[in-house]
Amino acid sequence: MNPLRSLCVLACLLAVAMGNPQTGNRSGRRSNSLDNVEQPSNWVSPREIENLPSLKQVTLNKLQEMSLEEGATLLDNLYHLSQFNRVFKPDYTPEPSQIKGYIVGERGQKIEFNLNTLVETVKRQQNFGDDEVTIFIQGLPESNAQVQKATRKLVNAYQQRYNLQPYPTTDSSSEEQRQRSSSEEQPQQQQSRKQNDDQEDKKSGDLIVIKLGNAIEDFEQFATLNIERVGEIIGNRLVELTNTVNVPQEIIHVIGSGPAAHVAGVAGRQFTRQTGHKLRRITALDPSKIYGKPEERLTGLARGDADFVDAIHTSAYGMGTSLRLANVDFYPNGPSTGVPGADNVVEASMRATRYFAESVRPGNERNFPAVAASSYQEYKQNKGYGKRAYMGIATDYDLEGDYMLQVNSKSPFGRSTPAQTQRGYHQVHQPWRQTNSNGQQSSSRRQ
């Protein structure tokens, strides 16, 4: 791609802003609408533009060195400037051979592949797709410690859920070893052990990890990632899985973090275009803002990209977006720059992955009770409405709207308590969970 000459672009924007008599301070957070994008000085002052670093200087490690508010302000300014005259062009498309990944085998081993060899690698795995298939698309590079930790937590959670023996980890810190006996790692130890004993030598699912984030080296590539093209490439691989490996779309669950959440949405649409069918579920973990958008075309994650789409927003005004994108959008502690215990925007964004990982572990499925609410203040005042819901793996497919909940600042993050009694009752669809004679809920897979 043609390198984006950041300093020149920002100098031009400075000239435009200084020439605009309406320059002024921002009065608050705005929606991510493209209305009036021709006047970026309505959002960013000339001094702010002057102080912006070049894109090459913006890294995850730099963002981690900033406070939560400092990092959010920087990303907010870059985003709004990016919308002026579409200065960020979505022209970065890593080659499929550059996008690495792995399948977690029955013994917990990593079976590695490049994206262009994914289907051939899957073909060599016995009994692949007999139950459910989870595909996690990582959106940020594992060179960052927070990203690496969150990914490891999610993979280990699915290993436990699918009865796959964990692969060795390079993290040997004493703190992590102590965490192994925490509520997050072993929520209900006896129950989980019994489940594992009952499922000995029996798989219940397959896990694929696509490390898209490792092909993103800096913020310039992050901001100019061609979401449409990468999503179409992955979507075509999913079509091959169904056509040549006989993996039915009803069992495929795609999870994407950050920009990969939007890639997952495009992959779902591409799958539908090619097959006429929808994937079972797409989960977005702190979906990012889209800096480089194609002209005259909507892009990114949206309701309808799968039978059910859910999103968890943990850095809505930081690395993520506050826009409602899914059938149901969860906002832990309300839309904000971050969540309790997160010191910077990177850690806040990765909390969405940590929360979902916690819910994946057997016994933790209902750790995150939530209720529908139109504002966090409404939620805290016990004025939410609708049926109680659970954020994470156990989210009901009949949910719609915005849901809010409170989380802990440290692991275990879920409060594991029933939601407060709400004053109203509103239900969009008939529940897909049926209550049995013992008063417990049993679920059937939505087709």
Model's pTM, two decimal places? Answer: 0.81
Structure tokens at 41: 């000085």
Are both 18 and 135 inside the same structural domain?
no
Residue after which a domain boundary falls, among 86, 106, 138: 86
Q: In what order do the strands lie in the sheet with 132-137?
A: 110-114, 100-104, 205-211, 132-137, 252-257, 281-285, 308-312, 328-332, 401-405, 369-372, 385-390
In the predicted model, is pLDDT for residue 400 greater than 70? Answer: yes
Q: In sequence order, which residues have a C-beta less than 8 Å from that of residue 309 and are 6 or more positions away?
A: 265, 268, 281, 282, 283, 284, 301, 302, 303, 325, 326, 327
Q: Kind of pairing, strands 441-443 and 433-435?
A: antiparallel
Q: Which residue has the higher pLDDT, 256 or 431?
A: 256
Give pLDDT tens digits for 3-22. 344 444 444 443 344 334 33
Strand partners, 209: 102, 136
Residue after which a domain boundary falls, among 31, 64, 86: 86
Q: pLDDT class for 203, splitting at 50, 70, 90?
A: low
Are both 370 and 339 inside the same structural domain?
yes
369 is a domain residue: yes
* 260 close to 139: Cβ distance less than 8 angstroms: yes
Which residue from 117, 36, 28 is spatially nearest to 76, judged by alpha carbons? 28
Give pLDDT tens digits for 372-389. 998 888 888 888 887 789
91 is a domain residue: no
Are both 323 and 354 inside the same structural domain?
yes
Q: List the domain range (segments joined by +) for residue 45.
A: 6-86
Residue after which a domain boundary falls, among 40, 65, 86: 86
Are both 169 and 235 inside the same structural domain?
yes
Are both 24 and 142 inside the same structural domain?
no
Q: How many domains does the chain have?
A: 2
Are both 118 and 258 inside the same structural domain?
yes
> What CATH number does residue 285 fall under?
3.40.50.1820
116 is a domain residue: yes
> What is the end-to-end Cα distance of the chain in Å, rounded?
42
Between CA 262 and CA 139 the distance in angstroms is: 10
Are both 272 and 124 inside the same structural domain?
yes
* 300 close to 326: Cβ distance less than 8 angstroms: no
Q: In sequence order, which residues have a C-beta less than 8 Å from that of residue 429 and are 6 or more positions away?
A: 398, 400
Are both 235 and 255 inside the same structural domain?
yes
